[in-house]
């Protein structure tokens, strides 16, 4: 006997990427409008939590619902299944239901982890991305990419789970050290270089304002047809110079030792060297 289950899913998962200054102050109103929930878990790390997390929780609590700050130790080496489990357990202890939502406040590690929590907690809850690093603003917060690292490699476990909103407050870039901005430029170049020639000029003379030159690439990164969430060769969402010659750095044992390059920095090395290799081989 065969019983056929007929499913036809037509879901609009579109969302806005807000870019401007002072948007953190508007976050409570944005949450009410774009991602209403009975409770919010603001997930951040030990660096960003004290800087912005406590302020966000204090202001968001004014919406009349439960808002809790949930943090974990900062660092790529903490983007693990153990950290993911601890964050989920914390939400369980807070008795959050499916009508709760997650706010990812931090860099790429926070966004990936918090997004994966949102994708899996009670089989999926809504979430909002609030990136605080340059690389997170132009790459990891866009496209619903979530996941954790395992000993075999980066982002080996994860899911595509689109956010309800991405809130990019450019004022937070003022607290970043130069190394973070350099890493953001290197990482963003991997996705933007194959687009328009203007994107290369953008990275060579970076300033906090030229977001218009990235708008087309941000749209291409986030707009994936239904049924094709992963990068596919020959399509706009697959036009990235990744994996680059920097990829071995990501799985090398030294990645977790004293030599820990900033996320995106290996691309700054890999892209020009990859271009030289291609040129020397005539490709």
Q: Angle, nearest 10°, between helix axes 265-280 and 178-192?
A: 40
- Per-residue pLDDT tens listing for the chain (283 residues): 999 999 988 888 999 999 999 999 999 999 999 999 999 999 999 999 999 999 999 988 877 789 999 999 999 999 999 999 999 999 999 999 999 999 999 999 999 999 999 999 999 999 999 999 999 999 889 999 999 999 999 999 999 999 999 999 999 998 766 666 665 555 555 554 444 444 444 344 345 444 454 555 555 555 555 445 544 444 444 445 555 454 555 555 444 444 455 555 555 555 566 656 666 666 5
Tally of CB atoms within 10 A around 154: 17
Q: What is the 3-state secondary structure (H, E, C) of 146-213?
A: EEEEECCEEEEEEEECCCCEEEEEHHHHHHCCHHHHHHHHHHHHHHHCCCCHHHHHHHHCCCCCCCHH
Apex CA 111: angle with CA 32 and CA 167, to 5°? 40
pTM of the complete model = 0.73
- Structural domains of the chain ordered from first start: 13-176 (3.40.50.1970), 177-210+230-274 (no CATH)
Tally of CB atoms within 10 A around 83: 21
């Amino acid at each position: 006997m065969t019983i056929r289950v007929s499913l036809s899913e037509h879901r609009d998962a579109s969302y806005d990427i807000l870019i401007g200054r002072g948007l953190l102050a508007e976050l409570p109103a944005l949450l009410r409008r774009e991602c209403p929930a009975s409770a919010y878990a603001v997930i951040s790390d030990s660096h960003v939590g004290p800087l912005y997390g406590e302020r966000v929780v204090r202001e968001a609590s004014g919406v009349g619902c439960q808002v809790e700050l949930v943090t974990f130790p900062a660092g790529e080496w903490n983007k693990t299944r153990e950290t993911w489990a601890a964050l989920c357990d914390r939400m369980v202890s807070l008795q959050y239901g499916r009508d709760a939502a997650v706010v990812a406040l931090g860099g790429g590690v926070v966004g990936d982890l918090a997004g994966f929590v949102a994708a899996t907690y009670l089989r999926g809850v809504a979430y909002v991305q609030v990136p605080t690093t340059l690389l997170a603003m132009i790459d990891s917060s866009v496209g619903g990419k979530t996941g954790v690292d395992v000993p075999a490699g980066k982002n080996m476990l994860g899911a595509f789970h689109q956010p309800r909103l991405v809130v990019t407050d450019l004022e937070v870039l003022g607290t970043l050290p130069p190394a973070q901005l350099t890493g953001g430029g290197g990482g963003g170049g991997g996705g933007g270089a194959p687009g328009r020639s203007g994107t290369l000029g953008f990275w060579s003379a970076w300033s906090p304002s030229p977001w218009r030159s990235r708008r087309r690439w941000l749209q291409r990164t986030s707009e994936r047809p239904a049924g094709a969430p992963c990068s596919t060769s020959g399509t706009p969402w697959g036009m990235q110079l990744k994996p680059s010659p920097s990829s071995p750095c990501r799985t090398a044992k030294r990645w977790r030792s004293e030599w820990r390059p900033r996320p995106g920095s290996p691309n700054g090395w890999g892209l020009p060297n990859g271009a030289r290799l291609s040129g020397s081989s005539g490709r």
